[in-house]
Each structure stands twice: as C-alpha cells, then as structure tokens.
Amino acid sequence: MFRNSEDVLHNVRVGESGTSQPVFNVATVPGNAYTHTFTEPGFYSVSCDVHESMHADIFVTSTPYAVVAADDGTFKFSDVPAGSYKLTVYLGPRRIERVVTIAGTRTQLTVNED
C-alpha cells in the first residue's frame, strides 16, 4: 500500500528497474492510499514526480529463500534442502545469477561482480 499521510499531493511512479518499463503512475491525494499487488518477480523503482527526493526500491520474489545482505555484503540462508538452485543477487537494478549446489550442512560461496 502506498499511503499519502501528508497534506500535499504526491504521485507514485513505479517502473521495473532492469527494463525501465513503467508499471503504474498514480496520484495520491492527501489522506488517501493506493494499493497494488505485484504479480511478477523483479526489482522495482519507486519515485514521486512532485518530490524528487522521495524514492524507494521494491524487491518481489516467489521463492521462500530470500535475504537482504548485511552492510558488509554477507548473507545467510537457513534450512535449505540439498540440491541445485539458481542464486540471484540484485545490486540495485543489476542482476547476477549463479547455479549453486547445496550439499551437506554448510555451503560457502563468494559472488563477485562480472
């Protein structure tokens, strides 16, 4: 939900970050809100044309295995069954993908930018 709790007009412009394709652009009048359900996984940019300093990023995924990296770039998944998976790392709109094989109780990997 995108809520306007101020006493001035805002708009919510959302685009898919990788392709710059627009998703929606709606006005939000004071005291009202706009609800949108994202149906496609991806990385989305949110901005307000009225107030250029207002922006956000939204990440949508269909997997139960998703984490946000710590400030130092490390991340950890727990209770992932053994098997082969596609790891996707988002660096803003950039996407890095790797096939990762989980075996045993601990798998450690390093993901470098290409």
Look at residue 23 in the predicted model and tell me its pLDDT. Answer: 95
- pLDDT tens column, 83-93: 999 998 877 66
Please report, as a single letter, which amino acid is at residue 108.
Q
Q: Which CATH class is domain 2-60?
A: mainly beta
Residue written as tokens 């809520």?
3
Residues 105 and 84 sit within 8 Å (Cβ to Cβ): no
**pLDDT above 80 (res 114):** no
List own/partner pairs for 18-27 with CB under 8 A and 24 or more apart.
Answer: 18/42, 18/43, 18/93, 18/95, 25/49, 26/2
Question: Mapping DSSP to helix (H, G, I), strand (E, B) and coil, where does residue 47 land?
Answer: strand
Query: Does the pTM of the predicted model rise above 0.85?
Result: no
CATH 2.60.40 in the chain: give the residue spans.
2-60
Count CB neighbours of 11 within 10 A: 19
Distance CA 68, CA 75 (A): 7
Identify the sign of the CA torsion 42, 37, 26, 49.
negative
